[in-house]
A and B are shown apart, each in its own frame.
Chain A
Amino acid sequence: MTVDMTRDEAAARTQRPVRFVKREKRTVTDGQEISDQTVWMLAVRDARDKAAFARLFDFYGPRLKGFVMRGGMDAALAEEIVQDVMLTVWHKAAQFDPERAQVSGWIYQITRNRQIDTIRRTGRAMPEELKHEDEHEPDAGQVLAMEQEAGKLKQALGRLKPDQRAMIEKAYLGDLTHQEIREQTGLPLGTIKSRIRLGLERLRHELKELREP
């Protein structure tokens, strides 16, 4: 199947034109750009852009297949997971929030949910979702800060010794027991946590003001 760009773009404009334009302006600040993956994801979320989705698929599809196969899954089943996860990315795009998540982390989480739901009858126990206000204006500074922290985390991962790195990979693949995770080498998650926490606190204040004007 070929994607008809012109038609899709036209359809997107009629769907949610105002929001997309508003967001698009916010993707570049002070000459710093957010990552391609986030730009594609926002185009999928706000404009239902199929070409951007195809790029996400090209980037994450093979990585996702490799990832679940390293977790012990055979190729055919791994492709089923890729299909389901990428379709979820499309259908649940509205839930993606670049102030608190990275596309890769969001996809990682969707993959875990999908795998657990397959294994267990009851599905995964999930936290309540934060109340997300539609009017909430995205904060480009917060998005960029998250991207930078995530970038540092990736660098830290790249600098690990091979055996440490293998250990971290095993932990996030889900191959380690609780005891083994307890003993693993930690990654520097501190700043990311405080960034996310700041975002959450701000959101909570906004919600509070809405409730108590």
Chain B
Amino acid sequence: MSNITHHIPEPMLAAYAAGTLPPVFETVVATHVSMCAACRAGMQAHEIAGGAVLEAGDGADLSDALKSDVLALLDGPAPEDRPAPKRKGIYPGPVMAALKNREPRWKSLGMGVRQSILMDGPDGSLRLLHIPPGRAVPDHGHNGIEMTLVLQGSFADETGTFGVGDLEVADEELEHTPVAGEGLPCICLAATDAPLRFRTLMPRLLQPLFRI
């Protein structure tokens, strides 16, 4: 059984089911759900609630030909399917999809910390972070929400210890200093909806270069 103790907050699960999360957070939620039966059940419960809303609402009349058009298409070829991505090593399917099924391309941030950027745009950024055991993840403040999901190893900060599958959701209120645990390097999937401000590691001028 899993030892996951830090889960997806309920409103985020609801937002995932409703399809309103920005892609970077959506990917983190889909990845955690791939690892966590409890949150999968929660997601499915929200889908059932969405279905109840769909079923209870007023209908709109359909054009006369729509039904016969659809019935006529049943024997046609099935539309092409986006194959569900498969887990590879420590990377669950949604991460492999974000990696486009390739290996992560690590770039050094110094002090043994590495990152591989998966998405970066106005809606936020998504990256893999690789932090050697005992090493601090660079201290940062942020605007907005930050989600960090552990894929290997662990980290601990002022709020607790996070092992494989655990998800930390932090907002602008939290000033935290995560430190990677002993054992395997900590590899986590981190999403932010606003550019991070790494304070201790890099001069601010260099930040655009590293896209942080």
Contact = CB atoms under 8 A, between A and B. Distances in A.
A153 B14 contact: no
Interface size of B as a range: 35 or more
B148 interface: no
A111 B74 CA distance: 18
A66 B61 CA distance: 8
Nearest to A101: B44
A108 B47 contact: yes
Given A125-B94, A172-B17, A178-B11, A193 B45 contact: yes
B71 interface: yes
Interface stretch (A18-26, A57-65, A133-141): A57-65
A69 B43 CA distance: 24
Interface string B7-39: 000111011011111010011011101100110
Contacts of A103: 51
Contact of A126 (B20, B69, B84, B87): B84
Contact of B52 (A100, A104, A204): A104
Contact of A128 (B15, B61, B84): B84
Given A91-B78, A91-B79, A112-B17, A66 B93 contact: no
Interface residues of A, number: 82
B54 A177 contact: no
Interface string B110-128: 0000000000000000000
Contacts of B43: 127
Interface string A155-189: 00110000000001101111011100110101101
Given A54-B71, A128-B34, A196 B45 contact: yes
A67 B57 contact: yes
B48 A171 contact: no
A125 B20 contact: no
A192 B65 CA distance: 38
A16 interface: no
Contacts of B30: 125-127
28 contacts: A66-B60, A67-B57, A79-B63, A83-B70, A87-B73, A87-B74, A100-B44, A104-B52, A104-B54, A105-B47, A105-B50, A107-B54, A108-B54, A109-B50, A111-B54, A112-B50, A122-B23, A125-B98, A126-B93, A157-B56, A172-B49, A173-B18, A174-B18, A178-B20, A181-B15, A181-B20, A189-B46, A193-B41
Interface of B: 10-12, 14-15, 17-21, 23, 26-27, 29-31, 33-34, 37-38, 40-63, 66-74, 78-79, 82, 84-87, 92-94, 97-98, 145
Given A82-B66, A112-B18, A178-B15, 19 more contacts: A53-B74, A63-B55, A65-B62, A66-B59, A66-B60, A79-B63, A83-B66, A101-B44, A103-B51, A111-B54, A112-B50, A125-B27, A125-B97, A128-B84, A128-B85, A172-B14, A172-B18, A173-B18, A197-B41
Interface of A: 1, 3, 50, 53-54, 57-58, 60-67, 69-70, 75, 78-79, 82-84, 86-88, 90-91, 100-109, 111-113, 115-117, 120, 122-130, 150, 153-154, 157-158, 168-169, 171-174, 176-178, 181-182, 184, 186-187, 189, 192-194, 196-197, 200-201, 204
